């Protein structure tokens, strides 16, 4: 029996990750990778209530063994025909001493992600303002986001000639989430990014023809003042 293609979303929180999962679930069964299973389980229920197919898998993207176990479980559940992989995991952008763990282990997680499936036509990484702008007191987040962008670009050069679309999305603003509503952080609600609108752009990147591919987009709300 022909396998049905599915999508993997690594890193599903209340913002971009959940919205991208819902958007891709309109077309594909989705495998959700999350460190904590609570939010991911609720998201699975929500997607199923909307008629989609989803399953959550607990995994720590910075732990190679944890990722291996998760990919084994994904294969058993969905097979090997991965149509798109979205890497949305991230360290928290709060000021702190140099911490590189999530950054260097990210490489392992990614390597596994590419290596464990037969073929991934689309691979999308989630970046941030810090991917292209270097602010003071933000060394770990800035350096890891710059590094992730470099990784995306080198993977793009290496795998696009093989037909893999590797793209990097710079989320250049604050996303509407329960947390950012509660804290009224940084900007008014109207000035915040709509995660469902972001997810449409992720889907457009996946839907692009191989004869017209974009390897990076930045996303801003209309009232972002830069």
**Contact set with a second copy (CB under 8 A):** 97-98, 100-101, 103-104, 107-108, 111, 134-139, 142-147, 149-151, 153-158, 160-161, 163, 165, 176, 192-194, 197-198, 200-201, 204, 207-226
Least separation in angstroms between CB 1 and a second copy: 30
Query: Rounded to the nearest whole angstrom, what is the least distance from the CB of residue 52 to a second copy in the complex?
Result: 22
What separation in angstroms does the CA of 133 have from each of 101, 129, 145, 150, 180?
21, 6, 10, 14, 22
At closest approach, how far in Å is the CB of 225 from a second copy? 7
Query: Which residue lies nearer to a second copy by CB, 3 or 154?
Result: 154
SS3 158: helix
List the end-to-end C-alpha distance of the chain, in Å, as a whole number: 51
Q: Choose between 56 and 131: whose C-beta lies nearer to a second copy.
A: 131
Nearest-approach distance from CB 160 to a second copy, in angstroms: 5
What ranges in 4-134 are assigned the alpha helix state H? Answer: 16-25, 37-49, 64-78, 101-116
Q: Is beta strand 122-128 parallel, antiparallel or unpaired with respect to 30-34?
A: unpaired
């Amino acid at each position: 029996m022909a396998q049905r293609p599915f999508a993997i979303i690594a890193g599903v929180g209340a913002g971009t990750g959940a919205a991208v999962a819902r958007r891709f679930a309109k077309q594909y069964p989705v495998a959700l990778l999350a460190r904590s299973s609570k939010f991911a389980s609720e998201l699975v229920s929500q997607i199923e209530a909307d008629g989609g197919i989803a399953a959550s898998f607990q995994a720590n993207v910075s732990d190679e063994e944890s990722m291996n176990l998760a990919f084994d479980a994904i294969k058993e559940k969905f097979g090997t025909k991965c149509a798109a992989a979205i890497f949305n995991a991230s360290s928290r952008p709060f000021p702190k001493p140099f911490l590189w763990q999530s950054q260097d282990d990210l490489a392992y997680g990614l390597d596994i992600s590419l290596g464990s499936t037969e073929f991934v036509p689309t691979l999308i990484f989630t970046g941030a303002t810090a991917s292209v702008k270097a602010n003071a007191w933000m060394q770990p987040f800035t350096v890891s986001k710059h590094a992730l962008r470099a990784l995306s670009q080198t993977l793009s050069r290496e795998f696009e000639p093989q037909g893999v679309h590797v793209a990097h999305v710079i989320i250049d603003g604050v996303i509407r989430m329960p947390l950012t509503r509660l804290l009224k952080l940084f900007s008014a609600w109207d000035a915040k990014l709509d995660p469902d609108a972001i997810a449409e752009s992720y889907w457009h990147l996946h839907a692009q023809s191989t004869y017209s591919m974009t390897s990076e987009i930045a996303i801003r709300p209309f009232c972002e003042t830069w």
